[in-house]
Amino acid sequence: MGKVVVFTHPRTIGFESYDDPPLKSHEVRLRTLYSGISAGTELTAYRGSNPYLHKQWDSPRKLFIPADQPALTYPVSGWGYEEVGEVVEVGSEVQAVSIGDIIFGTWGHRTHHIVEEDYARDRVQAKSLDAIFGIFSHIGSIAINGVHDARIRIGETVAVFGMGTLGQIVGQLSRKSGARVIGVDRFSKRLEIAHQSGAADIVLNADDGEVAERIRAITDNRGADVAIEVTGSTIALNQTIRSVSYSARVVALGFFQGEAAGLFLGEEFHHNRVNIVGSQIFGTDPELTYRWNRLRLVQTFMRLQTDGVVDLQPIISHVIPFDEVGEAFRILDQEPENALQIVLDCTKM
């Protein structure tokens, strides 16, 4: 029997058991080793603010529409997209992977999972990389996609608003792309880690005064060439817009909830001809579609980790036993200043 995390109500977590059925010939059984918690998307389901809990997504028209029955209702089972596991059983015709291989991917906070051989084959983790870093495969691909959308040029100044897990990765990737990075956050601990880990050249605490004015002072009053918003706060998005130069690009990478309070589009956005680009992992920049897809983004990020291009050890703040998942979400929800990447150890119950 397997065990899966369930949101029974807003801010209430439980578990369900599920059968571990026999494998088909081309299937692979995984025992989850670690499962990371996303402090963005996952908290929207935990808190009850996710739009799927209140509206229907009309896929053919690509619209959220009011509905008596929303697309998602409690209990919400199997949420999560940062998993890594070990192959413990293979189907009779499986040849591409072996028992003991480490597989990264997305299958929710559950103790066991079955995948097709092809899925596992494309996601075998390098033996030289500690298994725990497999949890970053998907969120790392989100970061690469956002940096691609930013179209950073060598020598540019990039402001990253929000130095949580995703912002830390975005900052490291932006610097590796040749940019000088200004990291912005309200929490001093995140800024310290960003500076130490190489995610930012300069760090600014948003609580210490007007951020846009400080960024313009740093850039000889020109403003940042590119800014990437990673907090999901419309107040932060407004500061991001204020911080960039004329006709510059802002990448909205955060998952915004509710109405856009604190966003003044008639001011710098309008007068400075700012370009806002929405970045979301289900789509790549149209110019890159023929070369980049989600699998390539995932595989590329894992290679960057293996090659030592990015260092994510400093951003793992907590490793918590699987059975204590309620406490993990409580920390992210109520003590964000004390947490970056929280990881569930699924081998400890």
Walk me through the domains of the chain, giving residue ranges and CATH numbers.
2-125+312-345 (3.90.180.10), 142-286 (3.40.50.720)
DSSP class of residue 124 equals B
Cα 147 to Cα 190: distance, rounded to the nearest angstrom: 20
pLDDT in tens, 269-312: 999 999 999 998 888 988 999 999 999 999 999 999 999 999 99
Q: Which residues of 323-341 are buried (b: 16+ CB within 10 A; e: fewer)?
A: eebeebbebbeeeeeebbb
pLDDT in tens, 197-246: 999 999 999 999 999 999 999 999 999 999 999 999 999 999 999 999 99
pLDDT score, position 132: 98
User: 104: which residues sit within 8 A by CB, 6+ positions away?
Assistant: 83, 84, 123, 125, 134, 135, 137, 298, 302
What share of the chain in percent tops pLDDT 90? 92
pLDDT score, position 348: 85
Tokens (6 digits) for 154: 């060598």
First to last CA, the chain: 14
pLDDT in tens, 95-148: 999 999 999 999 999 999 999 999 999 999 999 999 999 999 999 999 999 999
pTM of the model: 0.95
Cβ contact 202:186 at 8 Å: no
Which of these ranges, 2-11, 91-100, 257-266, 303-312, has the smallest mean pLDDT?
257-266
Cα 67 to Cα 201: distance, rounded to the nearest angstrom: 47
Cβ contact 263:234 at 8 Å: yes
pLDDT score, position 283: 87
325: part of which helix (H) or strand (E)?
Answer: helix 325-334
